[in-house]
């Protein structure tokens, strides 16, 4: 038996106690065993993966130095483009789409010789909070298969939680790395907006989207962060950053750290009392570890979700316009060649989108188009942008008093499959604690902090730590100290 975290596996690889080829085959065997039930993966990448693994083994045999991530199998959320590998974004419209290029994160990870096992399930175009909006399958929570893994990176978090990969990439627009991490008991890191290139990430809401790691430990998340970030000329919102090994910043010292507790986060009726209790205990834990706990107020936070659901659909409506039956993926026009139907250009737009896009995607296109239309633009879109500025400002002020902000990641543990599918507003509330970080662009992490027993199962609960812009190091260190304790 070997431990399935990055540094341990790396040691075994370089000491030649295991070969990457064996490790990779073992992971495929595990996937074969578990995934028929969990359904975390949409597609596997066996041939490429084993080729890569063998190449790494050769390097090791030759005594070449390899990166920490080299030869280690990971999974990729299916909204991230992979050259030559089908990338569906969980949507029928991209069912057969094979990108001719890699996303920048993938290029970076390939350069490090990381091994891609396959692509994981997601809500269609990353819209949702349970992975049930996938056009293909419903992923199960490995802790209780009657429940959702959370979303939209539910495939990636379930794969990590079931050890069907060592770590995974997800994307977070309003909580999609952290909320499913909370539900699945994984570590999920949403980075400062601009940290990782969005080139090759199929866009949902461009001013919110950010790729990030999902892992079993804080250290693993830190290792990945240092290797995927950086300026990319293909994404003008990416920031220049110096090389840095975040794993070296996990000093274990949090004395003098000031942690803010927003009082509003505990006032709402929606917070499950069992979650509240675990979060309160976790805050006490930080106190006993030497941190100073300070009550703060983020009064505009209560408008975060409302602003989010105006701005995000607005950006969605623009980003989805490219799926028009002409440029990408499925088209009703292609079918008409078989049926002989004589479609106009308008028919092709309307019928393709009607047939191949799911309900939630259509709902958002309509919401966004409405919010951006003449007459409503000022009332909705501009208003929501003003709220966005206000929320940002409140975070700025809070971070003058504290180093980090702590609270729950999600208001409840994982809910049952089907429970929220009929009520989109209920589903939206799952991100009440995570969306503010995306609105402000700040980094945040979810780490496991306890479990709730229900029906004989132990449902994980996540603790969220938010930090200042580009202060990932502090978040990771504080999270690491908690994890170790």
Interface residue with ligand GLN among 82, 134, 152, 352 (CB under 6 A) is: 152
> Of 83-91, 172-180, 195-203, 455-463, which part binds ligand GLN (CB under 6 A)?
172-180
> Of 16-24, 47-55, 122-130, 441-449, which part binds ligand GLN (CB under 6 A)?
122-130
Interface residue with ligand GLN among 73, 99, 118, 175 (CB under 6 A) is: 175
Whole-angstrom distance, CA of residue 475 vs CA of residue 218: 10
357 with 366: CB under 8 angstroms? no
Whole-angstrom distance, CA of residue 313 vs CA of residue 434: 17
Q: Which residues on adjacent β-strands are paired with residue 169?
A: 76, 213
Whole-angstrom distance, CA of residue 326 vs CA of residue 331: 7
- Nearer Cβ to ligand GLN, position 250 or 312? 312
- Nearer Cβ to ligand GLN, position 104 or 152? 152
Cis bond upstream, residue 202 (ω within 30): no
The count of other CB atoms within 10 Å of the CB of residue 269 is 5
> Of 22-30, 127-135, 393-401, 439-447, which part binds ligand GLN (CB under 6 A)?
127-135
Instruction: Give yes or no for residue 172 binding ligand GLN (CB under 6 A).
Output: yes
Q: What torsion do the CA atoms of 244, 250, 251, 256 make, to the nearest 10 degrees?
A: 100
Query: Where is 259: in which H helix or E strand?
Result: strand 258-262
Instruction: Give yes or no for residue 192 binding ligand GLN (CB under 6 A).
Output: no
Minimum CB separation from ligand GLN for residue 89, in Å? 11
Question: Given strand 41-44, what is the order of strands in its sheet?
Answer: 41-44, 115-120, 73-77, 167-172, 210-215, 187-190, 444-454, 457-467, 404-408, 258-262, 292-296
With CB under 6 A, what is the number of residues at the site for ligand GLN? Answer: 13
Instruction: Give yes or no for residue 412 binding ligand GLN (CB under 6 A).
Output: no
> Of 50-58, 170-178, 276-284, 289-297, which part binds ligand GLN (CB under 6 A)?
170-178
Interface residue with ligand GLN among 82, 173, 330, 331 (CB under 6 A) is: 173
Distances (CA, A) of 365 to 94, 289, 323, 353, 362: 17, 47, 12, 11, 5
Contact set for ligand GLN, span 436-475 (CB under 6 A): none
Instruction: Give yes or no for residue 129 binding ligand GLN (CB under 6 A).
Output: yes
Longest dimension (CA), the chain: 73
Instruction: Give yes or no for residue 99 binding ligand GLN (CB under 6 A).
Output: no
Interface residue with ligand GLN among 127, 218, 296, 405 (CB under 6 A) is: 127
- Nearer Cβ to ligand GLN, position 228 or 254? 228
Instruction: Give yes or no for residue 174 binding ligand GLN (CB under 6 A).
Output: yes
Instruction: Measure the CA angle with vertex 246, ends 223 and 183; round to 5°.
Output: 60
Chain contacts with ligand GLN (rule: CB under 6 A): 126-129, 152, 172-176, 204, 312, 431
């Amino acid at each position: 038996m070997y431990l399935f975290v990055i540094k341990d596996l790396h040691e075994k690889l370089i000491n030649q106690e295991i070969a990457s080829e064996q490790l990779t085959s073992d992971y495929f065997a595990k996937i074969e065993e578990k995934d028929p039930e969990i359904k975390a993966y949409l597609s596997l990448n066996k041939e490429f993966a084993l080729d890569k693994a063998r190449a790494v083994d050769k390097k090791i045999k030759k005594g070449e130095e390899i990166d920490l991530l080299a030869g280690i199998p990971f999974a990729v959320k299916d909204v991230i483009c992979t050259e030559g590998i089908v990338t569906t974004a969980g949507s029928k419209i991209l069912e057969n789409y094979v990108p001719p290029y890699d996303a920048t994160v993938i290029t970076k990870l390939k350069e490090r010789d990381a091994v891609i096992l396959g692509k994981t399930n997601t809500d269609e175009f990353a819209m949702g909070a349970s992975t049930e909006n996938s056009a293909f399958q419903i992923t199960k929570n490995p802790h209780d298969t009657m429940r959702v893994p959370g979303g939209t990176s539910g495939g990636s978090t379930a794969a990590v939680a079931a050890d069907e990969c060592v770590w995974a990439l997800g994307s977070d627009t309003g909580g999609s790395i952290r909320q499913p991490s909370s539900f699945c008991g994984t570590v999920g890191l949403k980075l400062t907006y601009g940290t990782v290139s969005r080139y090759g990430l199929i866009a949902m809401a461009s001013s919110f989207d950010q790729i990030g790691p999902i892992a079993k430990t804080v250290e693993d998340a830190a290792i990945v962060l240092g290797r995927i970030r950086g300026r990319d000329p293909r994404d003008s919102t990416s920031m220049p950053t110096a090389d840095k090994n975040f794993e070296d910043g996990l000093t274990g010292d949090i004395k003098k750290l000031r942690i803010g507790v927003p009082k509003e986060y505990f006032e709402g009726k929606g917070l499950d009392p069992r979650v509240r209790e675990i979060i309160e205990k976790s805050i006490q834990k930080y106190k006993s570890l030497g941190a100073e706990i300070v009550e703060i107020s983020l009064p505009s936070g209560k408008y975060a979700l409302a602003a989010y659901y105006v701005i995000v659909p607005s950006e969605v409506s623009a980003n989805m316009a490219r799926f028009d039956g002409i440029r990408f993926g499925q088209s009703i026009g292609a079918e008409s060649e078989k049926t002989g139907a004589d479609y106009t250009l308008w028919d092709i737009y309307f019928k393709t989108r009607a047939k191949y896009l799911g309900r939630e995607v259509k709902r958002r296109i309509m919401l966004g188009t409405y919010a951006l239309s003449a007459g409503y633009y000022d009332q909705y879109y501009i208003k929501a942008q003003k709220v966005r500025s206000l929320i940002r400002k409140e975070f700025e002020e809070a971070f003058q008093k504290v180093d980090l902000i702590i609270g729950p990641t999600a208001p409840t543990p994982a809910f049952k499959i089907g429970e929220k599918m009929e009520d989109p507003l209920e589903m939206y509330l799952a991100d009440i604690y995570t969306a503010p970080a995306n609105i402000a662009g700040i980094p945040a992490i979810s780490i496991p902090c306890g479990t709730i027993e229900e029906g004989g199962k132990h449902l994980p609960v996540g603790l969220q730590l938010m930090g200042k812009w580009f202060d990932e190091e502090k978040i990771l260190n504080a999270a690491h100290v908690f994890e170790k304790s």
